[in-house]
């Protein structure tokens, strides 16, 4: 309360100095005497020393209040000396720190090896940053959006009741397949298509229907899956390139190809019979190849003998006769008839055949 009373006294002192056209008037000035007359034709009297309107105790209390305010907010009153006002130097240092942090986070950009940084200047595409540390203008002038270009994304297209496809032989097939893709041009991927993921799904479904409509049900369920996948992949890539989607299709995989559920059991039986028939045909082809290889080997051996026969017909004929007779007589019992001048032959193996086997215990 002493502070506010002191301020009120000072205000009253300021307004108490009322001046008129003939000089200062008021109770604080001594009245002019005969030799010191004031007015427009005389010199103004010398103003006396004004007393301090604020008592000494109030001044000390006001100065103590200012000192406590300085200690509370820090500083030495550089912000004008009013209580409750922080130091201006602290505010400036804080503002400088915020500016430095803002510059560091919006000017320097670290791009990973699998990423690319798309830079827009005032919302318009400007350039694409490669891996490493790059510099741009601070935000909001330049903005950088990091895009992963090596991540392989997979779009699974599940079968639905209204998503069955018609084959070339007027049959219905239910297919589950997936499309693998990644980003090739990040600037095109960001700005050319409103919804790239949905666009890829629709293009893949359209391409699959177009390819399935040109093949039969057996081909779609059988060995031509690889060809169908390759054709769909080429078609999807061609359409997306026409859209400038900035997408690279890595592959298409058919995970399931079945007829409708109503006839699925019958088709499985037919498929099993076809597989059995294919297995039997494979076995027959394998046996035929073995016989062919054996015949070719025998024919080659006969050609070699014929070459030797042409060089020495008599010797080759006799050698062939001996080899043939040896092969024939090896498996039959032989009987030698005694002739003049020839020593008789004793068939030793014959008695041995009639003898019982010796007892191993004796």
Supply angle C-alpha 339, 322, 302, rounded to 5.
Answer: 165
Asked if residue 140 has a cis previous peptide bond (ω within 30° of 0), the answer is: yes
pLDDT of 60 reads: 63
**pLDDT tens column, 72-131:** 655 554 444 444 555 678 888 888 888 888 888 888 888 999 999 999 999 899 999 999
Distance, in Å, from the CA atom of 204 to the CA atom of 231, rounded to the nearest integer, reads: 11
Q: Once rounded to an integer, what is the mean pLDDT over residues 37-60?
A: 50
Structure tokens at 310: 């042409």
Model confidence band, residue 288 (pLDDT cutoffs 50, 70, 90): very high
**3-state SS, residue 13:** helix
Yes or no: say if 78 and 113 are a contact pair by the CB < 8 Å rule: no
Percent of the chain with pLDDT over 90: 33
Distance, in Å, from the CA atom of 215 to the CA atom of 345, rounded to the nearest integer, reads: 81
| Cα dihedral 268→273→276→277 (10° resolution) | -140
Q: Once rounded to an integer, what is the mean pLDDT over residues 61-75?
A: 66
Provide the residue ranges of all domains of the chain, joining segments of one domain with +.
1-7+53-86, 88-148, 153-259, 278-315
**pLDDT tens column, 186-206:** 999 999 999 999 999 999 999
pLDDT of 34 reads: 45
pLDDT of 266 reads: 82
Model confidence band, residue 291 (pLDDT cutoffs 50, 70, 90): very high
Yes or no: say if 50 and 28 are a contact pair by the CB < 8 Å rule: yes
Backbone angles phi, psi at 60, to 5 degrees: -65, -40
Yes or no: say if 32 and 41 are a contact pair by the CB < 8 Å rule: no
Q: Once rounded to an integer, what is the mean pLDDT over residues 1-5?
A: 47
Distance, in Å, from the CA atom of 225 to the CA atom of 176, rounded to the nearest integer, reads: 12
DSSP string, 318-341: HHHHHHHHHHHHTTS-------TT
Average pLDDT, the chain: 77
CATH class of 153-259: alpha beta
Structure tokens at 203: 């293009």
What residues are paired with 120 via a beta bridge? Answer: 125, 143
């Amino acid at each position: 309360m002493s502070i506010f009373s002191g301020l009120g006294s000072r205000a009253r002192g300021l307004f108490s100095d009322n001046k008129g056209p003939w000089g200062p008037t008021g109770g604080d000035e001594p009245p002019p005497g005969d030799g010191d007359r004031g007015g427009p034709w005389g010199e103004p009297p010398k103003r006396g020393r004004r007393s301090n309107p604020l008592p000494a105790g109030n001044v000390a209390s006001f100065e103590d209040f200012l000192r406590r305010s300085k200690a509370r907010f820090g500083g030495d009153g550089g912000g004008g000396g009013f209580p409750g006002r922080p130091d201006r130097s602290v505010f400036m240092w804080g503002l400088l720190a915020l500016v430095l942090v803002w510059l560091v986070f919006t000017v320097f950009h670290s791009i990973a090896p699998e990423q690319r940084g798309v830079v827009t200047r005032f919302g318009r595409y400007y350039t694409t940053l490669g891996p490493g540390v790059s510099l741009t203008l601070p935000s909001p002038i330049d903005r950088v959006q990091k895009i992963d270009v090596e991540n392989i994304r997979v779009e699974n297209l599940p079968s639905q009741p209204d998503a069955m496809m018609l084959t070339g032989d007027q049959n219905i097939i239910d297919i589950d397949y997936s499309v693998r893709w990644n980003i090739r041009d990040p600037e095109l991927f960001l700005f050319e298509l409103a919804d790239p993921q949905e666009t890829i799904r629709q293009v893949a479904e359209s391409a699959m229907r177009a390819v399935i409509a040109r093949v039969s049900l057996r081909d779609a369920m059988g060995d031509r899956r690889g060809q169908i996948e390759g054709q769909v992949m080429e078609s999807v890539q061609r359409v997306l390139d026409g859209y400038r989607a900035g997408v690279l299709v890595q592959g298409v995989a058919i995970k399931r190809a079945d007829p409708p559920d109503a006839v699925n059991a019958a088709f499985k039986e037919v498929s099993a019979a076809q597989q059995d028939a294919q297995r039997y045909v494979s076995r027959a082809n394998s046996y035929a190849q073995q016989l062919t290889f054996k015949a070719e080997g025998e024919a080659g051996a006969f050609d070699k003998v014929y070459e030797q026969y042409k060089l020495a017909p008599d010797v080759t004929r006799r050698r062939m006769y001996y080899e043939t007779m040896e092969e024939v007589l090896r498996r039959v019992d032989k009987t030698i008839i005694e002739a003049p001048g020839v020593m008789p032959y004793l068939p030793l193996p014959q008695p041995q055949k009639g003898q019982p086997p010796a007892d191993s215990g004796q």
